[in-house]
C-alpha cells in the first residue's frame, strides 16, 4: 500500500507549489515510483511539473455519461473505464500524474464514480507514495474507498484569511470519511519570523505547525518562464524548506 501525502487549503496559497516540491524530493531520493494526483479542478499541478495534460478523470466521466452505450463490443463498462483511466495516466520515469479535472455536471454519477474511485484506489497500490493536491472540500479524498491518509498538510500563505480557511477545513475533517494519521500546518511565503497575531491564530486552530516555506523569488521566475519546478536548484529556499518538512513529518 502506498503512503499517502495530501494537501488542502484555499486557492492561491501555494499548496500546488508545495505538492510539486514534495514530488521533486521523493523522485530524487529513491522514493519512486510516485503517483501524483491533481484533485483540484482549479489547480495546475501538471504545469508546475512541466507536463501537458490532455485527458482528465472528469473528461472520462462526462464522456461516458453522454454515451453510456458507447462501450466497445466485447468489453464491459468496468474494464472500459479502467482502460480509459490507464490511458489518461501521464507516465514519467520517477512519477506518474493523474488529473481528476472537472466536477460533476447534472445527473446521477454514482455508478461511474464508484468504478473510477475503486480503480484509482487499486492503482495507488502500485506506488510507494501518492501525493494528492486537493480542493478545499477534499472531495476526492473523502470518496476514496479506503479513506486512509498518512499525512495531511493544511496549507496557508502568510495571511489571516488563509489561516481562517485552514480553520474551516480543520473543523470539517470529523465529518469526512477519512482516517488521517498525521495532520500539520504549512505556512508559505513566510517572513523569517511569524508575528504574534499570526501565531496566536495558529494556536487557536489547534493544528501543529509542521513547516514554514519562505518567500522564494525563484518560484516567480520559474512561473514566468513556464519552467518545471522539478528543475529548481537544490539550494533554492523553497526546496530546502520542503526537504526539511518531509524529513520532519514523513519518515518512512
Helix axes 217-224, 237-249, angle to 10 degrees: 110
Parallel, antiparallel, or unpaired: how do β-strands 95-99 and 34-39 relate?
parallel
Report the SS3 class of residue 22: helix
pLDDT band at 122 (very low <50, low <70, confident <90, very high): confident
Whether the per-residue pLDDT at 192 is higher than 90: the answer is no
Report the SS3 class of residue 170: helix
What is the reported pLDDT for 120? 83
Report the SS3 class of residue 157: strand
DSSP-derived secondary structure letter, 30:
T
pLDDT band at 132 (very low <50, low <70, confident <90, very high): very high
E-state strands within 194-240: 209-214
What is the reported pLDDT for 15? 94
Taking residues 130-152, what's their average pLDDT?
A: 84
Report the SS3 class of residue 18: helix
Give the whole-angstrom CA distance, residue 14 versus residue 223: 12
**Exposed, middle or buried, 20 (CB in 10 Å: 0-12/13-18/19+)?**
buried
The phi, psi pair for 132, rounded to 5°, reads -120, 120
Q: What does the block give as the cell for 129?
A: 507514495
Residue 165, CB-side half-sphere exposure with 13 Å CA sphere = 21
What is the reported pLDDT for 22? 98
What are the pLDDT digits (tens) for 43-80?
Answer: 689 999 999 999 988 888 888 888 888 899 889 998 99
The answer to whether the bond into 196 is cis (omega within 30° of 0) is no
Q: What is the mean pLDDT of the chain?
A: 90
**109-57-13 Cα angle (round to 5):** 105
pLDDT band at 123 (very low <50, low <70, confident <90, very high): confident
Domains in the chain (CATH in brackets) are 3-249 (3.40.50.300)
Taking residues 207-229, what's their average pLDDT?
A: 95
Q: Three-class SS string for 79-128? A: HHHHHHHHHHCEECCCEEEEECCCCCCCCCCHHHHHHHHHHHHHHHCCCC
Give the whole-angstrom CA distance, residue 187 versus residue 13: 9
Amino acid at each position: 500500500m502506498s503512503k499517502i501525502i495530501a494537501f488542502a487549503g484555499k486557492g492561491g496559497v501555494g499548496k500546488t507549489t508545495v505538492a510539486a516540491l514534495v514530488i521533486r524530493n521523493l523522485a530524487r531520493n529513491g522514493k519512486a515510483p510516485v503517483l501524483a494526483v491533481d484533485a483540484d479542478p482549479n489547480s495546475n499541478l501538471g504545469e508546475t511539473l512541466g507536463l501537458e495534460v490532455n485527458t482528465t478523470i472528469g473528461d472520462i466521466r462526462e464522456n461516458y455519461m453522454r454515451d453510456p452505450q458507447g462501450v466497445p463490443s466485447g468489453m464491459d463498462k468496468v474494464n472500459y473505464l479502467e482502460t480509459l483511466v490507464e490511458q489518461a495516466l501521464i507516465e514519467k520515469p520517477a512519477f506518474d500524474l493523474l488529473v481528476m479535472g472537472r466536477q460533476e455536471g447534472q445527473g446521477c454519477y454514482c455508478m461511474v464514480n464508484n468504478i473510477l474511485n475503486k480503480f484509482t484506489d487499486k492503482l495507488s497500490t502500485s506506488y510507494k507514495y501518492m501525493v494528492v493536491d486537493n480542493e478545499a472540500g477534499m472531495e476526492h479524498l473523502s470518496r476514496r474507498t479506503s479513506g486512509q491518509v498518512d499525512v495531511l498538510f493544511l496549507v496557508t500563505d502568510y495571511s489571516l484569511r488563509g489561516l481562517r480557511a485552514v480553520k474551516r477545513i480543520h473543523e470539517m475533517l470529523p465529518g469526512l470519511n477519512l482516517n488521517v494519521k498525521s495532520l500539520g500546518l504549512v505556512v508559505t511565503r513566510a517572513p523569517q519570523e511569524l508575528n504574534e497575531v499570526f501565531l496566536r491564530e495558529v494556536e487557536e486552530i489547534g493544528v501543529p505547525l509542521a513547516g514554514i516555506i519562505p518567500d522564494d523569488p525563484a518560484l516567480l521566475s520559474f512561473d514566468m518562464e513556464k519552467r518545471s519546478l522539478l528543475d529548481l536548484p537544490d539550494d533554492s529556499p523553497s526546496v530546502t524548506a520542503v526537504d526539511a518538512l518531509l524529513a520532519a513529518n514523513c519518515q518512512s
